[in-house]
Amino acid sequence: MTAPGEGNQQKIVVGVDGSPSSKGALRWAVRQAQLTASAVEAVTAWEYPELLSPLPADFNPEKRARRLLDSVIEEVVGAMPPVEVRRVVLEQHPAPALVDASKGASLLVVGNRGHGEYVGVLIGSVSLHCVTHADCPVVILRGPEA
């Protein structure tokens, strides 16, 4: 059997967008990773906004997303996480980014912002997309302390 960190370690993917529910999802994923000797892959995704006006010259959404991810990880699990936490920043809509990241994962964990049924239909639901398309089991957590 291969020891953790030697290539066959399972991974738990978690979506992080800075919302309270995504922080709860990260917290839960880290606890689950401790129980299963897994690594956590914290994924945040971004897209260029569709604006009519030009963006400022110094606008760097990838850098902003990376800072957000680092900040959330620091806030939720501290500077010395109890498990390996890999940071992944992708230029893609969050739903397909998480589905892609779920390939080879043992679990995908997402928070649920709880926009409600009507708004969810209008703007789409990342968690619903993940449940119906992920390559592994999906855990959806409602609220920051779920």
140 φ, ψ to 5°? -110, 125
What CATH number is given to the structural domain containing 16? 3.40.50.620
Cα distance between residue 87 and residue 48, in whole Å: 20
Cα distance between residue 25 and residue 30, in whole Å: 9
Give a yes or no: residue 137 inside a domain. yes
Mean pLDDT of 62-70: 95
> Does residue 37 have a pLDDT over 80?
yes
90: which residues sit within 8 A by CB, 6+ positions away?
A: 43, 44, 45, 46, 97, 100, 101
The total domain count for the chain is 1
Cα distance between residue 77 and residue 25, in whole Å: 12
Give a yes or no: residue 1 inside a domain. no
Give a yes or no: residue 4 inside a domain. no
* Residue % of the chain over a pLDDT of 90: 64
* Residue % of the chain over a pLDDT of 70: 82
Give a yes or no: residue 51 inside a domain. yes
Give a yes or no: residue 71 inside a domain. yes
The secondary structure element, H or E, covering residue 43 is: strand 39-46
Instruction: Write out the residue range of the structural domain in which residue 116 sits.
Output: 11-142
> Does residue 107 have a pLDDT over 50?
yes
What is the model's pLDDT at position 54? Answer: 77
